[in-house]
Amino acid sequence: MQTPDPQMYSDLDRLGDEIAELSAHLEAATARLLDRIREFDERGGWSNGFRSCAAWLSWRVGLDPRAARERARVARALGTLPRLAAALARGEISYAKVRAATRVATPETEERLLAVTRAGTAEHVERIVRGWRYVDRQAERREATRQHVLRGLSVYPGDDGSVVVRGRLTPEAGALLLRALEAARESLCPRRRRTATTSGSATATGVVQNGPAEPPTLPQQQADALVLVAETALHHGLDPGAPGERYQVVVHVEAPVLANADQPGQSVLEDGACVSAKTSQRLACDASRVVMREDADGRLGEMGARTRTIPAAIRRALHRRDHGCRFPGCGVRIAEGHHIKHWARGGPTTLSNLALLCRRHHRAVHEEGYQLERNTDGALTFRRPNGWTIPDVPDPPAVPADPKKTLLETNAAHAVTVDSHTLTPEWRGERLDVGYVIDVLHPLTNPIAEDPASNPPTEPPAAAG
């Protein structure tokens, strides 16, 4: 029987200690990275053409989209969880544990979950968080059921003959009503302004008779808006319309405005709301269009058939070529056709003059000053509003010759002191009883117990028996 070499085990132990210590250094550096990501996100550093901080991280750092979203989410969460952030910055807990804990942690429960992250392994924390979220979902379902049961609307005549309306709606139904009332109030505002300008008449001596009434209060505006919503519903027979028409946005825009946004002319939605000429140009890039000709008095003289700006055959070829938004770092599959030179200015509807852009970046090109051009070799060049080119692939960062040495020096400069046992959990091999942990720690399962934050469990408890 071969005798183990003590020297071999000694070397392996030292190697294991080095791995554990370097891992703790990496976790401390990760805390600083998350802190920078949070500041970058809060200051909108990603808004130079990207739809989110996660999208920028995916492009600039090379993270896959899911990992980028998680980094941005954890960074934002740690801004309100200083204890977890500090423990990660000291290399005491891993990013994996923090990522799990921040899915449920609040400032009120942070201390309890910090005890869990220190006591258990990453697998323990994941299992406890799943149990924690299950309790939260059960509470949410009970609350949703309560709100549904309590919904109601009472409409009854008052003593003076007016009608009194009182009610309670579920959150989603209430949000729908509020949006409808908001739209109705905006529709009524122009009418009130027109009424106000014509409500008074001046005499020969300049004295105003029948002056304008006081503007209505918000409750009065809400009452008027509710009446308009009811009238509109009855007028349309309570029919929301066919799906294709229900979500259609109609814009009336004059031809000179489409060709040159600086030209005077009409650019309005179907309900009369004004939109910018740049918006009209963006919507007209990839839409159905109907050409109408009017005489000098505004009477309709001729109306053409509705046609697509981009024919179906060219659209299929466009999607086959581009596969999604062409903006650097985007790639969203649901995209709109963009005329590099607008068709209203003589640009042809050909593949060489078209590019796919998602709605966010289509707006950026038309209305936020971003520029797009096709080079002679067929490649696309995107520029920021200041003219700087946006590369398809960012320049690689400078990496020091000895990354480990740089990492240790940086951590030392931030007063981070770790060793091979800094990341070691307090768990000693007991079987985890998730139900017991949730019963002890979750505020909804143990609301009247002594504050667990003052005396949290030091290790995942063993199962009974």
- Backbone phi, psi, residue 446, to 5°: -140, 60
Query: Strand, helix or coil at 188?
Result: helix
Helix 110-119 vs helix 82-89: crossing angle, to nearest 10: 30
Query: Taken in order 360, 363, 368, 373, is the CA torsion positive or negative?
Result: positive
Q: How many Cβ atoms sit within 10 Å of the Cβ of residue 374?
A: 15
* CA separation for the pair 186, 42 (Å, rounded): 32
Q: What's the token pair of residue 257?
A: 């405005």
Query: Taken in order 355, 283, 359, 276, is the CA torsion positive or negative?
Result: positive
* CA separation for the pair 452, 446 (Å, rounded): 9
- Calculate the dihedral angle through the C-alpha atoms of 241, 245, 248, 253, rounding to the nearest 10 degrees: -110
Query: Taken in order 281, 284, 290, 291, is the CA torsion positive or negative?
Result: positive
Contact 308, 285 (CB under 8 A): no
Q: How many Cβ atoms sit within 10 Å of the Cβ of residue 104?
A: 17
What integer pLDDT is reported at residue 77 of this predicted model? 95
Residue pLDDT tens, the chain, 465 long: 566 666 667 888 888 888 989 999 999 999 999 999 999 999 999 887 788 899 899 888 888 889 999 999 999 999 999 999 999 999 999 999 999 999 999 999 999 999 999 988 999 999 999 999 888 888 777 877 888 888 899 988 888 878 899 999 888 788 888 888 888 888 887 666 666 655 554 443 344 445 556 778 888 888 888 888 888 877 766 555 544 454 466 777 777 766 766 666 667 766 666 767 777 777 777 777 776 666 655 565 556 656 667 888 888 898 889 888 999 888 788 888 888 888 777 788 888 889 999 888 888 888 888 989 999 888 899 998 888 888 888 877 777 888 888 888 888 899 888 888 888 888 877 888 888 888 888 888 876 544 544 455 545 454 443
DSSP label of 274: B
Which residues, other chains included, contact 266 with Cβ-Cβ below 8 Å and sequence gap of 6+?
Answer: 252, 253, 254, 257
- CA nearest 163: which of 226, 233, 236, 214? 226
What integer pLDDT is reported at residue 286 of this predicted model? 73
- Amino acid type, 374: R
- Calculate the dihedral angle through the C-alpha atoms of 166, 170, 176, 177, rounding to the nearest 10 degrees: 0
The H-assigned helical ranges of 199-299 are 218-235, 243-246, 255-259, 277-285
What integer pLDDT is reported at residue 6 of this predicted model? 65
The H-assigned helical ranges of 236-299 are 243-246, 255-259, 277-285
